[in-house]
Amino acid sequence: MEHKLFKVTLLGEGAVGKTSLRRQYLGESFEKNYAMTIGADFATKRVILDHVEYTIVIWDLAGQPRFKEVREAYYRGTKGALLVFDLSRGDSFKMLSSWIEELLINNKNKKIPMVLVGNKSDLRGSNLKTIPSSFGEDYAEQLSIWSGFKIPYIETSAQNGDNVEPAFETLTEQLIKHAYQEEIELR
Ligand code: G3D
Ligand code: MG
């Protein structure tokens, strides 16, 4: 069977729930030493589709390392990203564009498939003010026009598990589709 490896990164402000989303999807990570060395953690997921086995390696930046080298290694070769904000924190929404900028700077200016994730949907209806869905939808629409990829918007809760699998799986589908198209164009 043909085998392909894809790197996916989690982008977004501290405490928006990146690590919780990844844990909810995959369980605990198993590369603790690596995490300590470069300040990133990773876990893998295998997907078989049309007789091809894909290994999706999900990278998760531990804390906010300041070293340029760490950030470069984190982003380099990324094929897809989950762009995460916290539905109860407006600042995390406003910072999304600078995360995209950071990805581009460190990934040869390559636009890639992404999924925009509004996390902590369980806080809707609590006494915390939350960002309306229309904000996420509009921003995903803008990103789609800008990037040329269909960038979906999904609201998740890493706390109760709502929509976590669809978020990762939508991204996986998009990046496999994109890689397949690129391959056809190269033939
Ligand atoms: P990060 O990896 O983006 O920095 P974390 O974020 O996954 O470490 O999560 C930061 C905090 O937000 C954690 O709280 C975590 O439990 C909480 N959190 C993550 N996802 C959700 C969610 O969907 N809903 C709610 N209500 N909380 C969430 P603590 O208190 O452990 O720091
Ligand atoms: Mg984290």
- CATH number for region 2-186: 3.40.50.300
Alpha carbon of 19 to ligand 1 centroid (Å)? 8
Nearest to 61 by CA among 5, 109, 106, 91: 106
- CA–centroid distance for 2 within its chain: 25
**What is the number of the ligand closest to the CA of 117?**
1
Alpha carbon of 16 to ligand 2 centroid (Å)? 8
Q: Which residues pair with 116 in a beta bridge?
A: 83, 153
Q: Which residues surround ligand 2, an ion (CB under 5 A)?
A: 18-19
Give nearest CA residue, ligand 1 atom 31. Answer: 15
Burial of 108 (0-12, 13-18, 19+ CB in 10 A): exposed
Q: Which residues pair with 41 in a beta bridge?
A: 60
Of 11, 19, 20, 25, best ligand 1 pocket probe by most atoms within 8 Å of the beta carbon: 20
| pTM of structure | 0.93
The ligand 1 atom at the shortest distance from the C-alpha of residue 120 is 23
Where is 68: in which H helix or E strand?
A: helix 68-75
The ligand 1 atom at the shortest distance from the C-alpha of residue 20 is 7
Q: What is the pLDDT along the chain (187 residues), one digit of tens a residue?
A: 889 999 999 999 999 999 899 989 987 655 555 555 566 777 888 988 888 899 999 988 876 666 677 778 889 999 999 999 999 999 999 999 999 999 999 999 999 999 999 999 999 988 889 999 999 999 999 999 999 999 999 999 999 999 999 999 999 999 999 888 888 888 8
Instruction: Supply the pLDDT for residue 48.
Output: 87
Q: Which residues pair with 83 in a beta bridge?
A: 11, 116
Instruction: Supply the pLDDT for residue 1.
Output: 85
Rg (CA), the chain: 16
How is the beta sheet containing 80-86 ordered, strand by strand? 40-49, 52-61, 2-11, 80-86, 114-119, 153-156
Q: Which residues, judged by CB distance below 6 Å to any ligand atom, belong to the binding site of ligand 1?
A: 14-20, 119-120, 122-123, 157-159
Q: Percentage helix, strand, coil, to 5, in the chain?
A: 45, 25, 30
67: left (phi over 0), alpha (psi -120 to 50) or beta: beta
